[in-house]
Amino acid sequence: MREQKTINGELVHDLLIEKMLPALSYNENVDYAEWKESIREKFIELTGIDEIEKNACPLNVQVEWREKKEGYELIRFTFDSEVGATVPCYLLVPDTGKEKYPVAITLQGHSSGFHNSIAEPKNESEEEYALGRGKFAVQAVENGFIALAVEQRGMGERRPTTPERFTGANCRWAARLAFELGRTLIGERVWDVRKAIDALAAFPECDTDKILITGNSGGGTASYYAACYDERIKLSVPSCSFCSYKESILSVAHCDCNYIPSVYKYFDMQDLACLIAPRPLTVVTGIKDKIFPIHGVRRSYETVRQIYARNDAQDNCRIIETPMAHYWCVDLVWNAINEACEKLGWK
């Protein structure tokens, strides 16, 4: 009988991950200002944002319709974030009579689309989520914010539509195509958020000095990276999305939209907190989350804490561990947001 060796096809990668120390990993001996600038430059380069910036175009904000709802006005509008990229949005403006309101940017993850955020399911299978924990934008209005719901690239209305380009997953085709063009899908999503903030100038009720961003899973990932790129975001609350690359996307299979080519050669997710600090950051994580394991979250958050201490802003970072898995915990998230906004003097 022939004997055959069992081969671990991933061993080479596992060994490289284990021994690799990203070149720009934070340590207390770095020249902080110089290190932060190196992180910023490499983040923009690796995400392809520098390439996206070259394709910028006029916003061309178009209001499609307005509708009175109970407690708020629902506005559907679009804008162009770059040549060939039209971004649909919903703006929910409370009807409590204030001249201006702080803005909550709410981002869905891998759901069927941002219509869930405004509690408008398109079929029976969506009802439980869209009318419950998934109505992120409605929750924001209930907590006193103008809500801006942005449809992320590769999801919902922005999914590939031609059969030969549709892979069955929301955004894998878009992510792979972006890689081949020197971009990343997460970089494109971050750019869309930046331009969405620019588009808010068309709506005078928005207090653009008071902007927070939040979302779950893929929406949380974009919430974190968008705050790294755009300093107008004064509070970032990513849910079920923050973890060291080593323990998450390099150890557990994720959608392609989570990946940034060559990123682990240079930095880990927690190192990017220097691009947010000293602005407030609240990390929400589930202790049972299998794709963003709690041990990796806790380890990476320790670096976040050190970075904020370096900025004399220890009180501006926080971690909230929920008893759940990969799950948007409505009350815990919005209580954390409201507490942070009170500290900022927004409420």
For 153-212, how does the pLDDT look when each residue is reduced to its tens digit (9 = 90+)?
999 999 887 655 555 556 888 999 999 999 999 999 999 999 999 999 999 999 999 999
Neighbour tally for 296: CB within 10 Å: 24
Q: What is the pLDDT of residue 1?
A: 78
Q: Bridge partners of 230? A: none
Distance of CA 78 to the CA centre of its chain: 20
- State the average pLDDT for the chain: 96
Domain extent listing, the chain = 27-344
For residues 153 and 204, give the distance between their C-alpha atoms in angstroms, rounded to a whole number: 26
Task: List, as one string, the DSSP characters of 270-312.
Answer: GGGGGGTTTS-EEEEEETT-SSS-HHHHHHHHHHHHHHHHHTT
Helices (H), the chain: 11-19, 32-46, 49-53, 127-130, 136-142, 172-180, 185-199, 218-229, 294-310, 330-344
For residues 281 and 263, give the distance between their C-alpha atoms in angstroms, rounded to a whole number: 22
For 210-229, how does the pLDDT look when each residue is reduced to its tens digit (9 = 90+)?
999 999 999 999 999 999 99
**In the β-sheet with 85-94, what is the strand arrangement from edge to edge?**
62-69, 72-82, 85-94, 146-150, 101-107, 206-216, 233-239, 281-286, 317-322
Residue ranges for the chain with pLDDT beneath 70: 162-170
Closest to 94 measured CA to CA, from 75, 118, 71, 117: 71
**CATH 3.40.50.1820 fits domain 27-344:** yes
